[in-house]
Chains A and B, each alone.
Chain A
């Protein structure tokens, strides 16, 4: 896979179709992979990587890259393609300036899960198809089944279909029946006290590093309200622990209907707060109140919360449905 992608990237760069390539490169550790922009063949030969740890959603980088002169080649996984299409709807990316190669995805591995399984001193993890080969500083080599170490979002994958692309590498997948709302249902079943305690426990760990916001493809405001002194709420979220929680709740409201459930927020959270559950609750509610809706699935439909039509349901209907415990 990596070689095919590399070859195609070099071709497109050399024949002048694109000016730059948006993909991934290795960070400090082999499993610590970071998005990267390559502008020359040398850089690609040296650093280009694609394996089970290329988890980052690349769509958001195209907000800036698609405004640059010349085309950008972007490798988009199914998740990334939903986000990209949602950004197109919001006029945040310029489709004409992006050459999209869709890449089939069968789930990304979660390095933390491997560490949590008790393997210490990891030096390198190699992606060997279905297997992951872990080398440690103790010069041991362990072979693991990749499926046992998939990220939560991949275990509950909603779709393996790349929804927008110019060409595909690998065979495009299908929309899946996932169990992604199971945990939301569990939380819904709690009493309000239990639920408050659950979220208090999770959100109180927040250190306001803003990683979730910065990585979120739905958070592309020119200036975030939390960074805007004039908004009158910038410092509110830092005032006390309760309002700290409000940061996440406000953010969930802001992305409601536009969140494609790519799961980046939870992936990047250094405190392992399951932030995606807040977004999934919104998605589930919207599905129930207004009918199934998947953000980024197409270019025509409007998110139910950010739309006005003559046949909008009356608020009372939402109340009736929403009022049920």
Chain B
């Protein structure tokens, strides 16, 4: 029989306000095995912890039940306290009477009754607890950063700076991401390329950083400190090590009609291409969807003109398997597709563009070499209408996103301001729901657009855009003066909502990292652990976690790097001893558990068993690799014979809890 101590925490008034903590302690005192029961104001405080320690010593407790907040919060605190006075830390159970009781109930009588039941369940479990010993696992001192935008680059640079190896996997042929496409950056209006490209070069030259461009993560196995990742290096049909990036092939390639994704399809590139002049790595890539040689076997021009002999039409996807201690997700974002927004005539007129397209039209390296020309007839637009919140802050329906995309207000102010500065004869209108510009020097920036540059900011939304006689007839409402507006515009610029990159969802599944309903990665704690995912060893950097601008992205990227460095600086990690194990006497070898294990921790072997009459039978039985098992318990419920069981959460313990609740 265990000697159990029960400690009921008030959590100030968090628990005591709704639960009669004294009554709970008194009632639980009568449970079998309970030799001591008390309540205290703050059990997690030093005095509270001392109370637990002293009672363990005084009463010779073999088990401890703490009725307090969620075990996610302080289980570790209490386990450490128990351990410091010689009690096995896994003999401590936490009954969550805050999040699951006091915070969600109003009536004291029922809340108290429920707290007693929860305490009783924990006591029933402790009766079956056994001391567990945690093992250790080594840490691979290398990090993987998935995504080579500004977030990924910054994280990688910071990790490398601390002396650890770091690999960047980028799915496109160059690193740089969205920031490389941007013209100028708010609120200082410095050129994006001027501040980004030196960082790209630094990443390429930093000897601790290895860049896998044009590559994707195919498979992730393992766990914190020891991930095993399979990287697919897509065939670029050009030998990366030999190509000098001279660009002759990209000029001679006869296939000229390939939409250039770097300029969002507003001009064309060749089938062999270097995305932009400052690309890193600066090597050519053949687009297999357009290359005549790869499709029909008849061409070979690039191979003939290449003096370095870098073209290799026979290249195949290659796979790299590497070990990492930590993984940083920096998969970034995309503007949403505007196909569903017929009212803005996006698909009907080339002069209705997204803000990112407008960014390219303003950029010196863009399709119009930086001269603002409207795409339909390459004339200077005289009247430009900006529409904000296209797809952002939409409640209900599948058309838009419920969240604020956060960056649109500022970049629209930037676009409006730059347009007025370069072309003062242009009329610029901005339609908005609200203007949201918190941030250092942000609101000043927006006010400059309105006050110094004379941009017409109009509160209200555009209802319809109709292309007619070379103009865009814009119908809108001005909510402040309560009138309908009709504007004949030359261009309409839509501030499309942003959404996480489509590759994020399958990646989250591979990493067993959780996402919210909008496919943004969830952080371990929204306030206190904002750059860690709830999955140990997986960290978040940049837009993949939520909308943010470049300064915020860079801060978060460095924060994620700091967390990674903290992990990689350790030589060993303490393993979770709450892992599954199989009872070979009961195991049928049916493979049910193996197939539901998300971590691939279960293998089978043929084993000899002694049977009656000195006979031997060979049976197929499961065994669990405790270093790989994460203790999720999927196997224990899949096992029909109950051979699989989880340390610390055994079938019997859970049944005992259920029985105690139903008593």
Contact = CB atoms under 8 A, between A and B. Distances in A.
B638 A306 contact: yes
Interface stretch (A26-34, A75-83, A156-164, A217-225): A217-225
B590 to A, nearest CB: 4
A232 B655 contact: yes
Given A91-B590, A308-B595, A310-B509, A222 B652 contact: no
Contacts of A89: 591
Contact of A90 (B506, B591, B597, B652): B591
Given A222-B641, A306-B638, A308-B598, A92 B588 contact: yes
Interface string A83-105: 00000011110000000000000
A224 B641 contact: yes
A284 interface: no
Given A91-B589, A222-B585, A308-B596, A254 B506 contact: no
Contacts of B655: 232-233
Contacts of B587: 222
Nearest to A254: B640
B642 interface: yes
B66 to A, nearest CB: 25
A228 B595 contact: no
A148 B596 CA distance: 45
A67 B588 CA distance: 14
Q: Which of A223, A225, A231, A306 has the most B CB atoms < 10 Å from its CB?
A: A306
A223 B590 contact: no
Interface string A198-220: 00000000000000000000001
A233 B659 CA distance: 11
A302 interface: yes
Interface in B6-43: none
B592 A221 contact: no
Interface in A87-142: 89-92
Contacts of B506: 310
Given A91-B620, A308-B596, A308-B634, A221 B651 contact: no
B509 A221 contact: no
A325 B641 CA distance: 32
A307 interface: yes
A224 B639 CA distance: 11
A233 B638 CA distance: 17
Nearest to A231: B642
Interface size class of B (residues with CB under 8 A): 20 to 34
B191 interface: no
Given A232-B651, A232-B655, A302-B595, A90 B642 contact: no
Contacts of A224: 641
Interface in B596-652: 596-598, 604, 617, 619-620, 634, 638, 640-643, 651-652
Contacts of A232: 651-652, 655-656
B365 interface: no
Nearest to A307: B595
Contacts of B620: 91
Nearest to B592: A306
B373 interface: no
B510 A310 contact: yes
Contact of A223 (B589, B619, B641): B641
B586 interface: yes
Contacts of B643: 222
B639 to A, nearest CB: 9
B586 A220 contact: no
Interface in A307-325: 307-308, 310-311
Interface in B533-588: 585-588
A221 B598 contact: no
Contacts of A308: 595-598, 634
Interface in A214-256: 220-225, 228, 230-233, 254-255
Interface residues of A, number: 24
Contacts of B592: 90, 306
Contacts of B604: 91
A308 B597 CA distance: 7
A310 B510 CA distance: 7
B641 A225 contact: yes
A61 B327 CA distance: 51
Interface string A277-309: 000000000000000000000000010001110
Contacts of B598: 308
A10 B620 CA distance: 34
A311 B505 CA distance: 10
A278 B652 CA distance: 26
A223 B641 CA distance: 7
Interface in A132-182: none
A92 B591 CA distance: 10
Nearest to A305: B638
A223 B595 contact: no
Nearest to A250: B640
Nearest to B656: A232
Interface in B417-436: none
Given A91-B589, A91-B620, A228 B596 contact: no
Contacts of A92: 588-590
Contacts of B617: 67
Contacts of A222: 585-588, 619, 641, 643
B424 to A, nearest CB: 53
Nearest to B634: A308
A250 to B, nearest CB: 10
B640 A307 contact: no
A306 B642 contact: no
A82 to B, nearest CB: 17
Nearest to B621: A222
A223 to B, nearest CB: 5
Contacts of B591: 89-91
Nearest to B596: A308
B590 A90 contact: yes
Contacts of A233: 655
Contacts of B590: 90-92
Nearest to A256: B640
Contacts of A231: 642, 651-652
Nearest to A228: B642
Contact of A221 (B586, B619, B652): B586
Interface string A253-287: 01100000000000000000000000000000000
Contacts of B641: 221-225, 228
Interface in B476-520: 506, 509-510
A305 to B, nearest CB: 8
Contacts of B638: 306
B406 to A, nearest CB: 27
Most buried by B among A91, A224, A254: A91
B391 to A, nearest CB: 23
A228 B587 CA distance: 13
A302 B345 CA distance: 48
Contacts of A225: 640-642
Nearest to A224: B641
Contact of B588 (A220, A255, A307, A311): A220
Contacts of B656: 232
Contacts of A311: 509
Contacts of B596: 306-308
Interface of A: 67, 89-92, 220-225, 228, 230-233, 254-255, 302, 306-308, 310-311
29 contacts: A67-B617, A90-B589, A90-B590, A90-B592, A91-B589, A91-B590, A91-B604, A92-B588, A92-B590, A222-B585, A223-B585, A223-B586, A224-B641, A225-B640, A225-B641, A228-B641, A230-B652, A231-B642, A231-B652, A232-B651, A255-B640, A306-B595, A306-B596, A307-B595, A308-B596, A308-B598, A310-B509, A310-B510, A311-B509
7 A-B pairs with the lowest CB-CB distances in the bound complex, closest first: A221-B641, A90-B590, A254-B640, A306-B592, A232-B652, A308-B596, A225-B642
Given A91-B604, A224-B641, 11 more contacts: A90-B589, A91-B591, A222-B586, A222-B641, A225-B642, A228-B642, A306-B592, A306-B595, A307-B595, A308-B596, A308-B634
